[in-house]
Amino acid sequence: MKNKPFLIIGVFVVVLLVVVFLSTKQKEEKLVSTDSGTFVSETTGLSIAKAQETVTLKDGDTYNLSADIVKKAIKGKEVKMLAYNSSIPGPLIKVPQGAEITLNFTNNTDVDTTVHSHGVRVDNKFDGVPDVTQDPVKPGKSFTYTLKFPDEGVYWYHPHIREDYAQELGLYGNFIVTPEKSDYWAEVDREEALFLDDILITNGQVASFDKETVNHTLMGRFGNTMLINGDENYQLPVKQGERVRFYITNAANTRVFNFAIPNARMKLVGGDSGKYEREVWVDAVTVGPSERYVVEVLFDTSGDFKLTHKTPDKTYTMGTINVQPGAVATSYLLVPRVNDDKIGELTVYRSLLQKTADKQLTLSMTMGASGNQSTMSGGGHGMHQMADGQMMANSAMQMDGDEGPIEWEDTMSMMNQGSTPETLKWKLIDKQTNKENMDIGWQFIQGDKVKISIFNDPNSMHSMQHPIHFHGQRFLVLAKNGVANDNLVWKDTVLIGKGETMDILLDVTNPGDWMVHCHIPEHMEAGMMSEFTVI
């Protein structure tokens, strides 16, 4: 029986290779039969992407936002990209807590789209989910959103149709909601918003996307070029002694970033929706797709500080902070704060830690769109492509053991590229009813505090991290693997590793029909989403 895991792996490899071959053959036949099988990548006549602008709005303001087709130089070649108001990232929109704004949106791209205000507890009809809260916005058409911002924090806006394509090509931007209390955050000298991203470049172009079929559904589409705010080599000049608050957002399709600034003391102060109960010193911050974190750094020495992403295999330098020599002022930024107001606010929620879970979700995957095991295996357990195109099992990537915060890199590129919603199915499973994905249909009452236990099954065909996002509400992570969380922060997205159980408390405040899904867009397209109703 000792060889059983390797026998299973061998079967997985054979099945996967057959499926990839058939999938690739189908794609080739499809592309031969039509002139428009993939989105156009031509850049002739396109405008160059603009520099990002910062827009400060007040309650009652109206702002015009468009999704445009632009060109941008990446790896020395101009490539086609998509951009809000022609910039990547889109405009940084700052609004005060409690404000309501009107967003007049126009779609100038080549794909249906919407605008989803991620994490913002908006009115349901403005959530930007196609065929649930609105019709898709066709190319050349417009839609008006009325957005309310009840919570402080860092949020972002992005499409909710073909995110694998549109978001990968640059459709993302931040909302920064300024707290009502002026002393909510510690005093700093400047604020900077950082989008962490990657993009897949092949032969001088963004790797093509099929118009009809989403691929890379096994692991999500990894990029091979790291970006901060759309740039390969992000540069930020600061003065010695400056205190900088960074709002960090992961806009990548599937990559988890392990963000660090070596040789600079970094203080973690906030998450998706505001501040933690206690500020803490950290060496690095693990940021799953769509998660946001707020960190503060005092640059008290001059020189160059690298912005890095460290994986088990290598460390990527994504940008540089150039600190110019100057006077250094003593700062209480050096002292992590205890936020008594936040502790007091969340005490009542912490008391629900011992509450029995109201709902239980399991994250899993099966072969074939209907779970037919003759169709595909996503198992793999860490397969690497050899020079001759064959596949081998990598025992170092077995699913038992702890690989740290980064579970997967793009180690299965051939199988990943060949996977589609027709070859595998990602699942949210209601453990109490055995219903899956869109059949689950939870109903809650406004004012409910719902404890949900989410288990990422390590024995599924291909277990990996999943960033789970709830629309329209906020939640607290009460415990991880049964260990109580002693530093709470409001969130809307949580990264759940293989084998982990995350107990969250959903604060049900916002009526309507809402989505819950994995925020790897390729996984969502392969079924990993559900809908819940708040009455």
pLDDT in tens, 240-286: 999 999 999 999 999 999 999 999 999 999 999 999 999 999 999 99
**Average pLDDT rounded to a whole number, residues 88-115:** 98
pLDDT tens digits, 275-313:
999 999 999 999 999 999 999 999 999 999 999 999 888
When the pLDDT of each residue in the chain is averaged and rounded to a whole number, the result is: 87
pLDDT tens digits, 437-484:
999 999 999 999 999 999 999 998 888 999 999 999 999 999 999 999
* 410 confidence band (pLDDT: 50, 70, 90): low
Residue 125 has pLDDT above 50, yes or no: yes
User: And the tokens for 194?
Assistant: 């950082």
Least confident of 89-98, 373-382, 426-435, 499-508: 373-382
Residue 374 has pLDDT above 60, yes or no: no
* 405 confidence band (pLDDT: 50, 70, 90): confident
Hey, CA dihedral for 24, 25, 30, 33, is it positive or negative?
positive
* 24 confidence band (pLDDT: 50, 70, 90): very low
- What pLDDT score does 333 carry? 61
Higher pLDDT, 109 or 25: 109
DSSP string, 515-527: EEEESSHHHHHTT
- What pLDDT score does 404 carry? 63
Burial of 37 (0-12, 13-18, 19+ CB in 10 A): middle
Percentage of the chain modeled with pLDDT above 90 = 75
CA-based angle 122:128:129, to the nearest 5? 115
Percentage of the chain modeled with pLDDT above 70 = 84
Q: How far apart are CA 304 and CA 236, in angstroms?
A: 10
Letter string b/e over residues 190-212, b meaning 16 or more CB atoms within 10 A of that residue's CB:
ebbbbbbbbbbbeeebbbbbbbe
Higher pLDDT, 467 or 27: 467
Ordered domains of the chain (ranges, CATH): 4-21+351-534 (2.60.40.420), 47-64+80-179 (2.60.40.420), 191-338 (2.60.40.420)
pLDDT tens digits, 55-84:
999 999 999 999 999 999 999 999 999 999
Q: How far apart are CA 327 and CA 309, in angstroms?
A: 30
- What pLDDT score does 72 carry? 97
| Integer-rounded Cα radius of gyration of the chain | 23
Higher pLDDT, 331 or 19: 331
Amino acid identity of residue 448, one-letter, is: D
Beta-strand relationship, 173-178 and 205-206: unpaired
- What pLDDT score does 415 carry? 82
- What pLDDT score does 453 carry? 98
* 353 confidence band (pLDDT: 50, 70, 90): confident
Instruction: At 143, give phi and psi (nearest 5°).
Output: -155, 145
pTM attached to this predicted model: 0.88
98 alpha carbon, distance to own chain's centre: 25
Residue 102 has pLDDT above 50, yes or no: yes
CA-based angle 215:11:222, to the nearest 5? 25
Residue 232 has pLDDT above 60, yes or no: yes
Q: How far apart are CA 138 and CA 425, in angstroms?
A: 28
Q: How far apart are CA 254 and CA 105, in angstroms?
A: 27
Task: Locate the DSSP E strands across 139-273.
Answer: 142-148, 153-158, 173-178, 190-199, 201-202, 205-206, 225-228, 234-239, 243-250, 257-260, 266-271
* 329 confidence band (pLDDT: 50, 70, 90): low
- What pLDDT score does 395 carry? 25
**Average pLDDT rounded to a whole number, residues 102-130:** 98
